[in-house]
């Protein structure tokens, strides 16, 4: 896993690779969004398992189904980035912040930071909760099939799966803490980046959050 990350870093340092990456991202944003999340977010889950259980995959993990789910979420996230990075500045413009619509493509400054924060705030309060619930349902569906590929062509029993969620914990840890203290701040930074790097950075952040949560869970288990 470390070798994969090192090779990816070396490739990104190549000028020709960077040009090809930028061109592909601009020309095929949804395909690239699928690939980025399928690879990086799934890698993050594998690394989290390595931290907590000493292995990259356990029985029933469902590597391919998880990669497909993350890829589909990557497509949705790519679309959300486009929608909110255009919509939030338009709202700010109507509220009197006339430079907001051009701020994200301009130099770093107060207007750009406020605009990026507004994009992050609206996206994480309007889109992220639905996406997180969808991801939870997908996780439970994969677990129900013990990671078998059959889960990809059998529809989830969404109502039953939702009933099995610990909503108190989900609300407190996933929807409140992670959104307020992680996603809103880091997505503010994300929208300060050039458009071609935003989804990639978001995928990396997802992997990092998974590692942090796994490490925290491991320490809490040891303390208990």
Residue 89 C-beta-side C-alpha neighbours within 13 Å: 20
How far is the first Cα of the chain from the last one, in angstroms, to the nearest whole number?
A: 30
Whether 215 maps to a domain, the answer reads no
Does residue 22 lie in a domain region? no
- Residue 9 pLDDT greater than 90, yes or no: no
Structure tokens at 11: 């490739």
Does any domain span residue 203?
yes
Q: Give 45's Cβ-side CA count (13 Å radius).
A: 17
Distance (Å, rounded) from C-alpha 148 to C-alpha 62? 6
The per-residue pLDDT for range 65-117, each reduced to its tens digit, is 999 999 999 999 999 999 999 999 999 999 999 899 899 998 999 999 999 99
Q: 61 lies in which domain range?
A: 30-210
Report the residue count for the chain. 224
Confidence of residue 216 (pLDDT cuts 50, 70, 90): low
Does residue 132 sit within a domain? yes
Rounded Cα–Cα distance for residues 89 and 124 (Å): 15
- Residue 153 clears pLDDT 80, i.e. is over it: yes
């Amino acid at each position: 896993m470390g070798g994969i990350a090192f090779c990816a870093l070396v490739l990104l340092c190549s000028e020709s690779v960077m040009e090809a990456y930028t061109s592909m991202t601009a020309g095929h944003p949804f395909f690239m969004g699928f690939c980025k999340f399928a690879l990086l977010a799934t890698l993050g889950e594998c690394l989290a398992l390595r931290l907590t259980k000493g292995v990259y995959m356990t029985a029933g993990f469902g590597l391919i189904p998880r990669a497909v789910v993350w890829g589909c979420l990557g497509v949705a996230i790519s679309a959300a980035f486009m929608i909110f990075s255009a919509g939030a500045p338009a709202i700010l413009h109507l509220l009197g912040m006339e430079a907001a619509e051009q701020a994200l493509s301009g130099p770093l400054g107060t207007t750009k930071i406020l605009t990026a924060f507004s994009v992050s705030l609206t996206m994480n309060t309007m889109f992220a909760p639905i996406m997180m619930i969808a991801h939870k349902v997908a996780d439970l569906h994969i677990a129900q099939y013990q990671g078998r590929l059959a889960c990809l062509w059998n529809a989830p029993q969404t109502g039953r799966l939702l009933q099995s969620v610990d909503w108190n914990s989900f609300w407190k840890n996933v929807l409140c803490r992670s959104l307020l203290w992680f996603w809103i701040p880091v997505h503010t930074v994300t929208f300060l980046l050039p458009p071609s790097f935003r989804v990639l950075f978001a995928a990396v952040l997802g992997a990092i959050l998974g590692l942090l949560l796994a490490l925290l869970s491991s320490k809490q288990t040891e303390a208990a």
